[in-house]
Amino acid sequence: MPSFDIASKVDVQVLDNAVNVTSKEVLNRFDFKGSHVVIDLDKKGFLLKLEADSDMKMQQIIDVLVSRSIKQGLDGNVYDQSKEGYQSGKVWKKEVTVRNGLKQEDAKKIVKLIKDKNFKVQAAIMDDIIRVTGKKIDDLQEVISACRSADFGIPLQFINMKS
């Protein structure tokens, strides 16, 4: 039976490249000359630690980070910016979590969408991926297009297509 997996994974090397390109661009910009800027990536914890002189500069760093990540091939939704930045002395700090893997509640939302649309497929949650199987490849392609059109706020990849 044809099947595919729905995943939400981030390649660490691509993420690292995006962070390095961002830090080089920010340090070379005229409006950041002489400013305190720190962009630190924790590869194991998928956590970005950002520091800047002001909240405005922090937002500019995040804008550059998202645009450079998109150019590197990462989805802009990969960064969880829900935590607010805070001021520590003269420096603004912010921790940005990188979403890697499907969380259980996100996986349940995706499976609910598949079941509500009455596709002729079966969806099973397996750790941090969702395996979708069906009798026809056309049914699987309908599921992929429905998942792409729905906005879950997380980047999705459709991998391991087997017929």
Query: Nearest-CA neighbor of 1 among 90, 114, 122?
Result: 122
One CATH from 3.30.420.40, 3.30.70.990, 3.40.50.970, 3.40.50.620 for 12-98: 3.30.70.990
CATH 3.30.70.860 residue ranges of the chain are 3-8+101-162
The answer to whether residues 5 and 13 touch, using CB atoms and an 8 Å cutoff, is: no
Per-residue model confidence (pLDDT) at position 152: 87
Tell me which fold the domain 3-8+101-162 belongs to. Answer: Alpha-Beta Plaits (3.30.70)
Phi/psi at 11 (nearest 5 deg)?
Answer: -75, 125
Give start-end residues of each CATH 3.30.70.990 domain in the chain.
12-98
Q: What is the pLDDT of residue 40?
A: 95
SS3 120: coil
pLDDT for the residue 108: 93
pTM: 0.83
Which regions of the chain are under pLDDT 70? none
